[in-house]
């Protein structure tokens, strides 16, 4: 079974600084999808960024980028120029290519300090 | 327009009661899901339906019964509620046809269920 691990229950960053959230996963598949979701206090699940395993290029969405290391099964999220609105719980998630389910990590609570 | 909607957003009820949570998506998606987020914020899949057919049932107690009257709706009915059922329940949907690789799951706002 696939597992996703986020080893940082909490992280904090100063406004305008950069922070990296870690995620590792375990799978025997060669093709799959990886995601980072953000859950603010409103509890809405918001997709931040996604990565297809067959793509070597790291995904980027504005201030958000990932470092995808397929051999190491690592998928970290970098947030540049952190803003107060980035404060939230961040979940790393895995999906096989059938898209049948998301397997989530435990989450990392990000605090942004002004 | 709301893509995935859930009703109610909050539900407070007593042990032993039966309750339902409704979910609707207007995205034309084929696959819908229910996830449970526990008090420690851990999210885990419960069920998945594709075109009204159950494709995932993730060791959920029989007291939980999903019902999909059409592919735009996936309701969750819970019988004989227990204290441990208190959680946030999320509905989600995805397109489901892989060739387009439109595999993103769109989440509803969640329903916070509190059993007293």
The CATH number linked to A79 is: 2.60.40.10
Query: Checking DSSP bridges between strand A108-113 and strand A10-14, what pairing results, if any?
Result: parallel
Residue of A nearest to B91 (CA): A45
Domains, chain B, in order of start with CATH, read 4-97 (2.60.40.10)
| Three-class secondary structure of residue A62 per DSSP | coil
Quick one: which of B89, B87, B88, B93 has its CA closest to B107?
B93
Distance from CA of B55 to the nearest CA of A (A): 8
Contacts of A89 in chain B (CB under 8 A): 41
pLDDT at position B59, please? Answer: 78
How confident is the model over B34-55, as pLDDT tens digits? 999 999 999 999 998 888 888 8
pLDDT at position B56, please? Answer: 80
Where residue A47 falls among pLDDT bands split at 50, 70, 90? very high
Tell me how far apart the alpha carbons of residues A94 and A28 are, in angstroms, rounded to a whole number.
Answer: 12
Cβ–Cβ of B110/A33 closer than 8 Å?
no
Distance from CA of B47 to the nearest CA of A (A): 9
Q: How many CB atoms lie within 10 A of CB A37?
A: 24
pLDDT at position B46, please? Answer: 93
How confident is the model over B48-96, as pLDDT tens digits? 888 888 888 887 899 999 999 998 999 999 999 999 999 999 999 988 6
pLDDT at position B101, please? Answer: 54
Tell me how many domains chain A contains.
Answer: 1
How confident is the model over B11-35, as pLDDT tens digits? 999 999 999 999 999 998 888 999 9
Tell me how far apart the alpha carbons of residues A45 and B88 are, in angstroms, rounded to a whole number.
Answer: 12
pLDDT at position B26, please? Answer: 94
Report whether A74 contacts A23 (CB < 8 A).
yes
Cβ–Cβ of A43/B110 closer than 8 Å?
yes
pLDDT at position A73, please? Answer: 96
pLDDT at position A27, please? Answer: 94
- Whether residue B97 has pLDDT greater than 80: no
> Which residues, numbered 18 to 77 in chain B, qualify as contacts with chain A under a Cβ-Cβ cut-off of 8 Å?
31, 33, 35, 40-45, 48, 55-56, 58
Quick one: which of B48, B28, B35, B47 has its CA closest to B87?
B35
The residue-averaged pLDDT of A21-44 equals: 94
Contacts of B105 in chain A (CB under 8 A): 47, 95, 99, 102
Distance from CA of A93 to the nearest CA of B (A): 10
pLDDT at position B89, please? Answer: 97
Structural domain range at position A51: 3-113
Cβ–Cβ of A91/B43 closer than 8 Å?
yes
A2 touches chain B (CB under 8 A): no
How confident is the model over A81-114, as pLDDT tens digits? 999 999 999 999 999 887 678 999 999 999 999 9
Tell me how far apart the alpha carbons of residues B108 and A6 are, in angstroms, rounded to a whole number.
Answer: 24
How far is the CA of A44 from the CAs of A76, B106, B111, in angstroms? 22, 10, 10
pLDDT at position A86, please? Answer: 97
pLDDT at position B98, please? Answer: 53
If 0-12 CB within 10 Å is exposed, 13-18 middle and 19+ buried, where does residue A73 land?
middle
A33 touches chain B (CB under 8 A): yes
Contacts of A42 in chain B (CB under 8 A): 109
Residue of A nearest to B56 (CA): A100
């Amino acid at each position: 079974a696939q597992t996703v691990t986020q080893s940082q229950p909490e992280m904090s960053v100063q406004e305008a600084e950069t922070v990296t959230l870690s995620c590792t996963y375990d799978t025997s598949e060669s093709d799959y999808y990886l995601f980072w979701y953000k859950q603010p206090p409103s509890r809405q699940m918001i997709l931040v960024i996604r990565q297809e395993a067959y793509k070597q290029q790291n995904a980027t969405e504005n201030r958000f980028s990932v470092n995808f290391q397929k051999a190491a099964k690592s998928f970290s999220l970098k947030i540049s120029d952190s803003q107060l609105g980035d404060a939230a719980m961040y979940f790393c998630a895995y999906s096989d290519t059938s898209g049948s389910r998301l397997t989530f990590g435990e989450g990392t609570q990000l605090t942004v300090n002004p | 327009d709301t893509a995935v909607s859930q009703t109610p957003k909050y539900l407070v009820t007593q042990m032993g009661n039966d309750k339902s949570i409704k979910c609707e998506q207007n995205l034309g998606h084929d696959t819908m899901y229910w996830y449970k987020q526990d008090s420690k914020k851990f999210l885990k899949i419960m069920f998945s339906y594709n075109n009204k057919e159950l494709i995932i049932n993730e060791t959920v107690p029989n007291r939980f019964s999903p019902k999909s009257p059409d592919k735009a709706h996936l309701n969750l009915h819970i019988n004989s509620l227990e204290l441990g059922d208190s959680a946030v329940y999320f509905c989600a949907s995805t397109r489901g046809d892989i060739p387009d690789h439109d595999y993103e799951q769109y989440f509803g706002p969640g329903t916070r269920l509190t059993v007293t």
